[in-house]
Amino acid sequence: MNKPLYLSTLSLLGMLLFSTTLSAASLQAELVDSEGQPLANAVLTLRSEVAPVVAPVTAVMDQISQQFAPNVLAVRSGTAVSFPNSDNIRHHVYSFSLAKRFELRLYQGTPSEPVVFDKPGVVVLGCNIHDWMVGYVYVTDDPWFAVSDAQGKLNLEQLPAGTYTASLWHPQAPDMLPQDAGQVQLTEAGSLQRFTLSMQAPGGQTAPSAPVSAFGDAFKKARDAAQ
């Protein structure tokens, strides 16, 4: 190989990589309700005119202490999700949601095949044995997304600098529908932003501790929102 040409090619690649690194941006977000209280399990998604090429991945929705873990899982359309059962008892996972109907009959351990979530929307998960177990898979076509932690915070890293359209979602959002959060401008310096979600009045509800209609209520909201 011609040495000067080889060195020039390496220099060009180095400049491209350096430019890409410089243009990377990050977003630190805090998600709160209308009273300013932190919101855990809230989803923030971002989209822009330039969509990245995303390699297929497998996500995990576990079952720990007779609860879905995490309670809210956000994935991109086309993602395969594995449903291990880390409890020492059997579970029977299912969903009637329009975005994905499926059933994993009574089992322990990990089913051999993951479930592919190929349509955007809210998927409400239940257990046919433990009615208080309710989980959510939020399936989005947006390429960037994250779920807030217990303090209502999340980070999105290595985003191209530019303008994004943001949306928000939470299981207690009115009619369980995503909310428009306007535009977000990201620069190489990064951004720290606070987002407020409108929430449905709790109506005195408490976390169920016995088999009640928790799954039925959540499923009805998701079904009505999809119609």
Give the integer Cα–Cα distance in Å for 39 and 94: 26
Domain regions of the chain by residue span: 34-226
For the cut 80, the answer to whether the pLDDT of residue 140 exceeds it is: yes
Mean pLDDT for the stretch of residues 115-123:
96
Closest CA to 158 of 75, 57, 56, 54: 54
> pLDDT class for 48, splitting at 50, 70, 90?
very high
Give the integer Cα–Cα distance in Å for 95 and 103: 7
Which class would CATH give 34-226? mainly beta
The residue to which tokens 């996972």 are assigned:
93
Element of type H or E holding 61: none
More confident residue, 159 or 18: 159
Q: 181 is written with which tokens?
A: 């959060």
**Residues found in the chain:** 227
> pLDDT class for 6, splitting at 50, 70, 90?
very low
Q: Do residues 87 and 66 make contact, with C-beta atoms less than 8 angstroms apart?
A: yes
In three-state secondary structure terms, 103 is strand
Element of type H or E holding 222: helix 214-226
> What is the average pLDDT value for the chain, to the nearest integer?
84
Residue-wise pLDDT for 143-175, tens only, equals 999 999 999 999 999 999 999 999 999 999 999
Closest CA to 156 of 45, 28, 59, 42: 28
Q: Is the peptide bond before 38 cis (omega within 30 degrees of 0)?
A: no
Q: Do residues 138 and 36 make contact, with C-beta atoms less than 8 angstroms apart?
A: no
Q: What is the 8-class DSSP label of residue 69? A: E
Q: Do residues 91 and 64 make contact, with C-beta atoms less than 8 angstroms apart?
A: no
The residue to which tokens 């880390």 are assigned:
86
What pLDDT does residue 177 have?
Answer: 94
More confident residue, 211 or 24: 24
Q: 77 is written with which tokens?
A: 């359309």
More confident residue, 22 or 134: 134
Q: Do residues 117 and 54 make contact, with C-beta atoms less than 8 angstroms apart?
A: no
More confident residue, 227 or 57: 57
Residue-wise pLDDT for 181-216, tens only, equals 999 999 888 899 999 999 986 543 333 333 344 555
Closest CA to 186 of 153, 168, 163, 154: 163
CA angle 128, 130, 132 (to 5 degrees): 115
What pLDDT does residue 53 have?
Answer: 77
